[in-house]
Amino acid sequence: MKNKYPTEVLREEKRYPITVIHLISFTALFKITTFSLTDNPDGQLAAPRRPSWGRNFLKKLIAIWPQLSRKISQHVFDQPDTFSLIPVKNAFIIPGGRFKEFYYWDSYWILKGLLLSDMKETAKGIIDNFIYMVSTYGFVPNGGRIYYLNRSQPPVLTLMMKDYVQYTNDFVFLAKRIDVLEKELQFWLKKRVTKVVKDGESYHLAHFDSESDTPRPESYLEDLETCSVYNTTEQQHECYTDLKSGAESGWDFTSRWIFDYEGEPDTDLTKISTRRNIPVDLNAFLYKSFRQMQYFYLILRRHDEAKYWQDKAEEWKINIEKVLYNTEDGIWYDYDLKLNKPRRHFAASNFAPLWANAIDEDLKKERGQNAARYLKKYGILEFHGIPSTLFTSGLQWDFPNAWSPYQNIVIFGLERSGDQEAQSIAKALAHKWVQSNMRAFDENKVMFEKYNSLISGQFGGGGEYHIQSGFGWTNGSIMELIDYYFRVKSRKHRPIYD
């Protein structure tokens, strides 16, 4: 049966009219009105190898960027105390649907799509907005509202700078802002790192921890209800903190953060304990950022700083290996701080260290082969997308939902391992995912936030709100896959992947 576009999405659009943020002019910010996908000088997103993959699909994706572009109104700058928006000077891209402000980690994958669309100035402006927030607040908040100043999201600002510099060679921009990149990473090192004990040895790794013990302002009533099962104020405050920490993870919400009385994943959100979990993906993001900082400082000939980040990257690589890698299953797992043991369950996030290259060079092929075997063991190749987990909880970051960023993390991790079987699986997964996205777009004329891994072209569901369209990070992620696997090769092409 044809997948119908839900009317709930349309109602959500009407419920959130654009008032203090206005749509940017198409021609003022976006160099795509005359952009050719078949004959452009830089070879960006050139025609796919097969006509059936749809040259028009890419054109339509690029044409969505102006629909998602926003710039803060001058009224917000003039009267900041009367608005919840965080005023930033440059235009930005919103996710879409109910989300009318920018979001931190969404912007990482959005920026990849912008660069592949040759929208360098827009990408640069988004990075500068985040630089301003780190300079002002000490970190990048979850999103562009003042009520998000109690938490961040997975740290990707350094990785955004890496993609931008790799595409533009704008080392002057990097040199002027690298101290702010360091400031953000120091926030994570000082505020989000905890001691981990395994087999009697102590290590340091990061976890999510909002350090705020009140309900989320944007979901106030929902949080009051969730935490009302607890009898004491202290217990309720712990519950609120873990809900906010779950929101900081970007996986809001999932069985990854919920523990039953035996430490197993649960579907009851009242049992959330996000801070108890050492997440594989968060520590992979940090490792990748630390290593990139080392390279940045070497380029800028600041060798003392380069050595500091080299040491920090090596420490994180060792700790990820010793604490999170499971040799029996051949994959990385989240770690339970309370029970001092791994959480041996499938999650798309388990593959993040492979993507981040948090592995000794001589182990890459072996780890790629093990990861491929792990995917086959759980039957993931039969799905139309890699599900977030295999738990059916009704939460949006659980089965059967599949999210674009983690398709790329798994696929590119396999691809760059150098193992032939892993690379073959990566390509097959990319084909399935692109096909599902194109089918959904053909039937609904929109891109979605998440998809159903069980049915090709079916949008996802569950969670605290209806399915949303747009959709910023979906578009950027799919562009990265198409660019890598289906682009006609060009000597002038400037890739943004590692």
Q: Which of 86, 108, 92 is nearest to 22 (CA)?
A: 92
Mean pLDDT over 283-298 rounds to 98
In this predicted model, what pLDDT tens digit does every residue of 122-160 receive, in sequence order? 999 999 999 999 999 999 999 999 999 999 999 999 999
**pLDDT class for 468, splitting at 50, 70, 90?**
confident
Report the mean per-residue pLDDT for the chain.
Answer: 88
Q: What SS3 state is found at 265?
A: strand
Supply the pLDDT for residue 469. Answer: 75
In this predicted model, what pLDDT tens digit does every residue of 220-257 receive, in sequence order? 999 999 999 999 999 999 999 999 999 999 999 999 99
**Where is the domain boundary, 141, 169, 197?**
169
Supply the pLDDT for residue 467. Answer: 67
Q: What SS3 state is found at 277?
A: strand
Beta strands in 18-121 (DSSP E): 21-23, 69-72, 92-93
**Where is the domain boundary, 169, 187, 214?**
169
In this predicted model, what pLDDT tens digit does every residue of 43-78 receive, in sequence order? 344 334 433 455 788 899 999 999 999 999 999 999
Q: Does the pLDDT value for residue 24 go beyond 70?
A: no
- Residue 378 belongs to a domain: yes
Supply the pLDDT for residue 27. Answer: 29
In this predicted model, what pLDDT tens digit does every residue of 169-194 receive, in sequence order? 999 999 999 999 999 999 999 999 99
| Rounded Cα–Cα distance for residues 490 and 38 (Å) | 11
Give the structural domain span for 418.
345-497
Residue 302 Cα to chain centre, angstroms? 30
Say if CB 336 and CB 265 are below 8 A apart.
Answer: no
Beta bridge partners of 341: 336
Mean pLDDT over 197-205 rounds to 96
| Rounded Cα–Cα distance for residues 384 and 35 (Å) | 31
- Is 449 considered catalytic here? yes
- Residue 462 belongs to a domain: yes
- Residue 156 belongs to a domain: yes
**pLDDT class for 13, splitting at 50, 70, 90?**
very low
Say if CB 357 and CB 288 are below 8 A apart.
Answer: yes
- Residue 390 belongs to a domain: yes
**Where is the domain boundary, 116, 142, 169?**
169
Residue 360 Cα to chain centre, angstroms? 24
| Rounded Cα–Cα distance for residues 368 and 269 (Å) | 34
Beta bridge partners of 335: 278, 342
- Residue 310 belongs to a domain: no
- Residue 225 belongs to a domain: no
- Is 264 considered catalytic here? no
Q: What percent of the chain has pLDDT over 90?
A: 83
End-to-end CA gap in the chain: 40
Q: Does the pLDDT value for residue 363 go beyond 60?
A: yes
Q: Which of 281, 415, 449, 483 is catalytic?
A: 449
Q: Which of 101, 252, 334, 415 is catalytic?
A: 252
Number of domains in the chain: 2
Length, in residues, of the chain: 498
The backbone torsions φ and ψ at residue 406, rounded to the nearest 5 degrees and listed phi first, read -80, -20
**pLDDT class for 492, splitting at 50, 70, 90?**
low
Amino acid at 118: D
Supply the pLDDT for residue 54. Answer: 55
Other CB atoms within a 10 A radius of the CB of residue 422 amount to 26
In this predicted model, what pLDDT tens digit does every residue of 306-316 receive, in sequence order? 999 999 999 99
Mean pLDDT over 190-217 rounds to 97
Supply the pLDDT for residue 36. Answer: 27
Supply the pLDDT for residue 47. Answer: 38
- Residue 147 belongs to a domain: yes
- Residue 153 belongs to a domain: yes
Supply the pLDDT for residue 23. Answer: 30
| Rounded Cα–Cα distance for residues 90 and 24 (Å) | 11
**pLDDT class for 15, splitting at 50, 70, 90?**
very low
The DSSP call for residue 493 is -
